Chains A and B, each alone.
Chain A
Amino acid sequence: MVTMSQVRSWRPDTLGLVADAMVQRRRTLVALQDEMDDGAPPSTWVSESREAAVASHTTLRESLADLVAEVAQVAAALDIAVDAVTRARVELDEALAVASANGFSISTTGRVTDNRDTLTDDQEVADRRAIRDEIVDKIEQALRNAGHADTSLAAALRSAASGVDGGTSSLGQAAATGTAGGQRGVLEPPTGGSDHDLNSWWEGLTEDDQASVIREHPEWIGNTDGIPAWARDEANRELIDDYRADLTGQLAAAQDAGDKGLAQTLTEKLDGLDAVEDTLELGNRQLLVLDITGEDQLMAAIAYGDVDTADHVAVFTPGFTTTVAGDMAGYDSQMANLVEEAAAQSDKYGAGGTVAAVSWLGYEAPQWDNVLDPGSSVASRAPAEAGAGNLASFYNGLDASRDADPHLTALGHSYGSLTTGLALQEQTGVDDAILFGSPGIGTSHIDDLDVSDGHVYRLEARRDAVADVGGLGPFGIDPSYIDGMTGLSTEDGSTGGVEYRESVGHSDYLTQGSMSQHNMASIVAGVPEQTVEGDTRGFGDILSWPLPWTY
């Protein structure tokens, strides 16, 4: 990898002069076409020496074509390198400007140091760390781009030096061949990079390179957190046909081998692709995750609305028995309704802002078939733990992919609230969390969640037995008893003059017109003052009361 001092010593203007000179040479050489044509032995020349003259002329013409191609390749590669190095220099200058404006210094080796005295306030420390990370990201991206420019130019020069075949056509065609050879490949995403690194990589690409990635390497970005939603969406849509063909081929092989279990799994994944396409047909959706590599299930996430620009973004994680094939359409509809309700509240109460919501089925939720399998049973934390890493990364990626963080709300239902609760124990950009119909959130202490005080909400409907099994499994105590969570009403009635329908049972929380949906929409829309609080503990909660000294 090139160093910062190397890049700063590079002179793209000088490189530009060389590129200009090479372009001029290319033009001069291509302009020799007429002379070459005029110098060809005429057809009226009839003698033994004509054959030798023709051979000599052909050799000369082809050598000239090769030379034109080589010069054109070098000219094109230089031209591209000038742009790339200039961009890298600009990115470095931006990093230096941000550092200077915020009291950081950057050493010649690229080390970033905070010049401020010891900080004591946690928020200030976090803010300074964020600025430092931004500077580091810019430097790393500049060096990646500079390195890629250097490597690409070196490769083009080596190739030209070893000879380029200019073909047997015209010199103009030879120049076109050389120019094509001088184009560089797209810089690949940094392996093992953070979502900020990946976003910097993406933003560092030219528009042409971005289009090329979507067209030729959609698998690089479709499920990559930190990449803007519009690009993930386009990439994942590009992949649907390939995935369908892949799964269809695997299905045929499984059927030939008589593997009924695998055939069933693959059939369900194909059904899931159908469900994804049916949902995308409705428009105003973004396909943010599409993953066929799960052991048992297709994984997918579809946003309703524009995640790149929405002021408020909600991410909904469902639970037990959820599959893309069986549930994506229904959850998508519920998220669309939630967005509509939240946007209406945003309008009506004047807080303002657009809303988007994601149905995130980006993990393999436990199924009835796996109840007895400790590795994937609903009675274990394993599926939730496996999903929580993906989910936390997804949350962080939403922030990293945008210039301004959205107001981000995590919604977790049933077993999905466990997955959500575990994800929120990592550092995420989640501003509000709503856990409903929850058997447990993976902890008995709200301080374990990386969400500000007063911003974690729970809802429990009457006759929702699932919400009372906390403490029975390894999920933490019943969330009804976790101190610091704000209970939101699921009842009908007229609390504060508000009249909404009651939610009953385990699967009614997101029903249009219900109190619970209203409350969730208020949180999502950033108008928590419009919620109706309520403590809906029932008989089941008496049974799930945790002994205070046991957790």
Chain B
Amino acid sequence: MTPTTPAQPAASPGPAPTMEQVLTDYTAMREEMVSALAGALGERAWRESPNSPGLRRSRVGGADPAAEQVGLVTWSFEGTYAVDAWHGAARLVAEVGRRHHFTDGGITVDRPGDLEIFGVDAHGGRYTFGMATNTILTLRTGPHRWEHPPEPADQQPT
């Protein structure tokens, strides 16, 4: 029987920026994405998702055992843009992503009532933008080292 071992992530090309730098850039990118959508399709009540697990830190192993991946708090709003604007919304998000060095990862789902796209960056980071009943925007970094890791006590379940 083959051993059950977790899959290892692909190695990142080149020296990776610090986690702090990446999170700053991702946060700015998310703001730009939401602004671009608001400019083209109107304001929506985006907020941190109440179902989001919060800032998600995990170790991914691989070449640098000290590197971590972080999932940012998911942003969402109840409902979606008008259905005929969904593909335009996805294009806007992808354009902002490209300005932040993300390449279009592709379409995860495209069927009636359900659209989801994703983009990836050179270090294994990923954004997801999707609409079905509600609209979500998730961001997850590739493996990076923290300059100053947050205190675990600040992140315990409450």
* A-facing residues in B98-120 (Cβ within 8 Å): 106-111, 114, 116, 118
* A344-B138, A348-B131 known; A330 vs B6 contact (CB < 8 Å): yes
Contact digits for B36-73, partner A, Cβ 8 Å, 1 yes 0 no: 00000000000001111111111111000000110100
Set A333, A346, A348, A350: member contacting B6, Cβ < 8 A: A333
A185 and B55 CA atoms in complex are apart in Å by 41
Residues of A within 8 A of B4 (CB): 318-322, 327, 413-416, 437, 506-507
Choice from B2, B49, B50 contacting A507 with Cβ under 8 Å:
B2
Q: For A413, what are the chain B residues with a Cβ–Cβ distance below 8 Å?
A: 4
Contact across chains for A286 and B157 when beta carbons are under 8 A apart: yes
Determine if A510 and B7 form an interchain contact, defined as CB atoms under 8 angstroms apart. Answer: yes
Which B residues are in CB contact (< 8 Å) with A336?
53, 56-58, 71
A363 contacts the other chain (Cβ, under 8 Å)? no
Asked if B5 lies at the interface with its beta carbon under 8 angstroms from chain A, I say: yes
Q: Is the CB of B59 within 8 A of A278?
A: yes
User: Which one, B11-19, B27-35, B87-95, B148-156, is touching chain A?
Assistant: B148-156
Query: Do residues B109 and A498 form an inter-chain contact, with CB atoms below 8 A?
Result: yes
**B130 close to A344 (CB less than 8 A):** yes
Contacts of B57 in A (CB 8 A): 282-284, 336
- Whole-angstrom distance between the Cβ of B53 and the nearest chain A Cβ: 5
Q: Are A320 and B3 in contact (CB under 8 A)?
A: yes
- Interface size, chain A (Cβ < 8 Å): 70
B24: Cβ under 8 A from any A Cβ: no
Judge whether A339 is part of the interface by a CB distance below 8 angstroms: yes
Query: Is the CB of A79 closer than 8 A to any CB of chain B?
Result: no
State how many angstroms separate the Cβ of B72 from the closest Cβ of chain A: 10
- Decide: B111 and A496 in contact? CB cutoff 8 A: yes
Bitwise, A334-347 to B at CB < 8 A (1) or not (0) is: 10110110011011
A349 cross-chain contacts in B, Cβ below 8 A:
132-134
Determine, out of A49-57, A148-156, A300-308, the stretch whose residues face the partner at the interface: A300-308
Q: Mark A515-535, 1 if CB is under 8 A from B, else 0.
A: 000000000000000000000
List residues of B (118-158) whose CB comes within 8 Å of A's CBs: 118, 126, 128, 130-136, 138, 140, 149-158
For residue B57, give the distance in angstroms from its CB to the closest CB of chain A: 4
Nearest-neighbor residue (CB-CB) of B155 within chain A: A283
Within the complex, the shortest CB–CB distance from A465 to chain B, in Å, comes to 7
Within 8 A of B (CB), among A390-431: 413-416
Q: How many Å lie between the Cα of A507 and that of B154 in the bound state?
A: 33
Please tell me if the beta carbons of A321 and B133 are within 8 angstroms of each other in the complex. no
Complex Cα distance, B109 from A496, in Å, reads 9
With the chains together, A415 CA to B4 CA distance in Å? 9
Residues of chain A with a CB closer than 8 A to B76's CB: 347-348
Q: Which of chain A's residues 257-278 have a Cβ closer than 8 Å to chain B?
A: 278
- Give the one of A347, A378, A416 with max B CB within 10 A: A347
A329–B66 CA distance with the chains assembled, in angstroms: 12
- Shortest distance in angstroms between A512's beta carbon and chain B's nearest beta carbon? 8
Task: Give the Cβ gap from B4 to chain A, nearest Cβ, in Å.
Answer: 5
One of A209-217, A242-250, A351-359 contacting the partner: A351-359
B110 A284 Cβ-Cβ under 8 A: no
Q: Is B82 at the interface (CB under 8 A from chain A)?
A: no
Cβ contacts under 8 Å, B111 to chain A:
496-498
Contact of B56 among A329, A339, A414 (CB under 8 A): A339
A499 touches B53 (CB 8 A): no
- Which A residues are in CB contact (< 8 Å) with B51? 343, 346-347, 352-355
Q: In the complex, A437 Cα to B110 Cα: how many Å?
A: 29
Chain A residue nearest to B107 in the complex (CB): A499
A546 in the interface (beta carbon within 8 A): no
For A275, the closest partner residue in chain B by CB is B59
Q: A511 in the interface, Cβ–Cβ < 8 Å?
A: yes
Interface centre among B4, B57, B131 (most CB of A within 10 A): B4
Minimum CB distance partner of A469 in chain B? B1
Chain A 294-312 per-residue mask, 1 if CB under 8 angstroms from chain B, else 0: 0000000000111111000
Among B49, B126, B151, the one with the most A-chain Cβ atoms within 10 Å of its Cβ is: B49
Say yes or no: B110 contacts A465, CB within 8 Å. Answer: no
- Whether A329 contacts B61 in the complex (CB less than 8 A), given A308-B157, A413-B4, A469-B1, comes out as yes
Question: Which residues of the partner chain A approach B149 to less than 8 Å between Cβ atoms?
Answer: 281
Write out the residue numbers on chain A whose beta carbons fall within 8 Å of the beta carbon of B128: 344
Q: For residue B60, which residues in chain A have a CB less than 8 angstroms away from its CB?
A: 333
> Which residues of B have CB within 8 Å of A496?
111
Chain A, 459-479, CB within 8 A of any chain B CB: 465-466, 469
Known: A330-B61, A336-B58, A499-B106. A321 touches B5 (CB 8 A): yes
Q: A283-B150, A283-B156, A347-B51 are known contacts. Are A340 and B71 too (CB-CB below 8 A)?
A: yes
- Chain B residues lying within 8 Å of A355, measured Cβ to Cβ, are 51, 53
Shortest Cβ distance from residue A507 to the other chain B in the assembled complex, whole angstroms: 6
Do A321 and B109 contact each other (CB < 8 Å), given the known contacts A337-B58, A347-B52, A354-B51?
no
Min CB gap A241→B, angstroms: 16
Q: Report A-chain residues with C-beta under 8 Å of the C-beta of B6.
A: 327, 330-331, 333-334, 507, 510
**In the bound complex, CA of A69 to CA of B85 (Å):** 80
B14 to chain A, nearest CB (A): 22
- The proximity string for A residues 58-97 relative to B, scoring 1 for CB distances below 8 Å and 0 otherwise, is 0000000000000000000000000000000000000000
Min CB distance, A290 to chain B, in Å? Answer: 16
Question: Across the interface, which residues of B come within 8 angstroms of A332, CB to CB?
Answer: 58-59
Interface residues as binary, A354-382 with B (CB distance below 8 Å gives 1, 0 otherwise): 11100000000000100000000010000
Q: Given the complex, which residues of B lie within 8 Å of A308, measured CB to CB?
A: 157
- In the bound assembly, the distance between CA atoms of A75 and B27 in angstroms comes to 61
Q: Are B132 and A350 in contact (CB under 8 A)?
A: yes
Shortest distance between the CB of B114 and any CB in chain A (Å): 7
Asked whether A508 is an interface residue with its Cβ less than 8 Å from the other chain, the reply is yes
Q: How far is the CB of A506 from chain B (nearest CB, A)?
A: 4
Please give the distance in Å from A545's CB to the nearest CB on chain B.
20
Extra inter-chain contacts (5) besides given A304-B56, A505-B2, CB under 8 Å: A282-B57, A284-B53, A284-B157, A306-B158, A499-B107
Ordered by A's residue number, 12 sampled pairs between the chains whose C-beta atoms are within 8 Å are A283-B55, A284-B55, A320-B3, A340-B53, A340-B56, A340-B138, A343-B53, A347-B136, A368-B3, A465-B2, A497-B109, A498-B108
Residues in chain B within 8 A of chain A (CB atoms)? 1-7, 49-61, 68-69, 71, 74, 76, 106-111, 114, 116, 118, 126, 128, 130-136, 138, 140, 149-158
